[in-house]
Amino acid sequence: MLEAERLTGGWGPTIVVENVDLNVGDAECLAIVGRNGVGKTTLLELVAGRTSAKSGRLRLDGQDLVPLSIYQRARAGLGYVPQNREVFPTLTVREHLSIASRPGRWTREKVLELLPRLGQRLDNLGSQLSGGEQQMLAIARALLGNPRLILMDEPSEGLAPVVVEHLISVLREIISDGSLSMILVEQRIDLALELSDRFIIMDRGQITYQANSADFDLEAGRLPELMGLTH
Ligand SMILES: Nc1ncnc2c1ncn2[C@@H]1O[C@H](COP(=O)(O)OP(=O)(O)OP(=O)(O)O)[C@@H](O)[C@H]1O
């Protein structure tokens, strides 16, 4: 459903992501892991249209995304849960949810069933939410747009262990629902492998390794070397 071919881009004149080939299938979860600063967020931002590609091809269900704006890409079926969550401090939870809503399988009722805590916070402002609640709101907002593909940037970052446990079960439910595909950028490798079908390792803007998540033996201890942490 998503196909990137030799995707290259970055910020201003700086190339951060170079010649990346990426394929995500229907209802597939692809995890992206790698050291800090290797370009994982930039890759998601290139897909979402928050920065433009210098070269390469990018298609969603056969539709060329390259000429489309951020909003057109959202309408074409891309959802985004950004690393900094982008919750508006002066809008209520209810307002966040109604702005995001587009018709489809993920209705407000279905989303609040998955995230009941948000249902109790509907009249609270974004600024009154905990970090975990803000993350759940960012996920709820993306789901309500009824995307074909959801891009998740480090959802577990900064969350307390008990909240991460809840997040894992929420992400598992979203994936097993089978209605969308996911690209998950995640620092927690154990979590990335547990949730994804396949994973890729990025280093310095390029894909340096990929494998099926279920086949990868974390205990074998090859990861630091594969991630370029040993030199
Ligand atoms: N919005 C932005 N504007 C300008 N430069 C950016 C922006 N986002 C990232 N960069 C730069 O792109 C390079 C790659 O960073 P990026 O955030 O894509 O890596 P990452 O692998 O996601 O790292 P992290 O795990 O720390 O989030 C860095 O040099 C960073 O400073």
Please answer whether residues 91 and 142 qualify as being in contact, where contact means their C-beta atoms are separated by less than 8 angstroms: no
Q: What is the per-residue DSSP string for 171-196?
A: HHHHHHH-S-EEEEE-S-HHHHHHH-
Residues in the chain: 231
Which of 112-126, 192-206, 215-229 is the least confident region? 215-229
> So what's the ipTM on this one?
0.94
* Per-residue confidence (pLDDT) for residue 220, from 0 to 100: 76
For 108-113, which contacts have Cβ atoms below 8 Å and span 24 or more sequence positions?
Answer: 108/144, 111/140, 111/143, 111/144, 112/140
| Residue closest by Cα to atom 30 of ligand 1 | 37
Residue ranges lining ligand 1, Cβ < 6 Å: 11, 16, 34, 36-42
Which of the four pLDDT bands, split at 50, 70 and 90, describes residue 222?
confident
Beta-bridged to residue 201, according to DSSP, are 33, 209
Counting ligand 1 atoms within 8 A of each CB, the residue from 7, 11, 35 with the most, and so the one to mutate, is 11
What φ, ψ does residue 175 adopt, rounded to 5°?
A: -65, -45
What does the alpha-carbon distance between residue 105 and residue 124 come to, in Å, rounded to a whole number? 26
- The per-residue pLDDT for range 172-182, each reduced to its tens digit, is 999 999 999 99
Exposed, middle or buried by CB within 10 Å (0-12, 13-18, 19+), for 62? exposed
Percent of the chain with pLDDT over 70: 100
Average pLDDT over residues 193-221: 92
Please answer whether residues 65 and 58 qualify as being in contact, where contact means their C-beta atoms are separated by less than 8 angstroms: yes
Helix segments in the chain, DSSP class H: 40-48, 70-76, 93-100, 108-114, 116-119, 131-144, 161-177, 189-195, 223-226
Residue 44 Cα: closest atom of ligand 1:
18
| Residue closest by Cα to atom 23 of ligand 1 | 37
Query: Both tokens of residue 167?
Result: 């997040």
Q: How far lies 133's CA from each of 85, 138, 155, 191, in Å?
A: 10, 9, 12, 20
* Per-residue confidence (pLDDT) for residue 217, from 0 to 100: 81
What does the alpha-carbon distance between residue 99 and residue 52 come to, in Å, rounded to a whole number? 25
Res. 199: pLDDT tops 90:
yes
| Residue closest by Cα to atom 5 of ligand 1 | 11
CA 165 to chain centre: 18
Res. 110: pLDDT tops 80:
yes
- The per-residue pLDDT for range 156-173, each reduced to its tens digit, is 999 999 999 999 999 999
| Residue closest by Cα to atom 24 of ligand 1 | 36
Counting ligand 1 atoms within 8 A of each CB, the residue from 8, 14, 15, 16 with the most, and so the one to mutate, is 16
Measured in Å, residue 110 CA sits from the centre of ligand 1 at 34
- The per-residue pLDDT for range 51-95, each reduced to its tens digit, is 999 999 999 999 999 999 999 999 999 999 999 999 999 999 999
CATH superfamily of domain region 2-226:
P-loop containing nucleotide triphosphate hydrolases (3.40.50.300)
Average pLDDT over residues 130-142: 96
* Per-residue confidence (pLDDT) for residue 231, from 0 to 100: 60
What does the alpha-carbon distance between residue 8 and residue 37 come to, in Å, rounded to a whole number? 16
What does the alpha-carbon distance between residue 137 and residue 97 come to, in Å, rounded to a whole number? 8
Helices then strands, counting H and E runs in the chain, come out as: 9, 10
| Residue closest by Cα to atom 1 of ligand 1 | 11
Average pLDDT over residues 201-207: 95
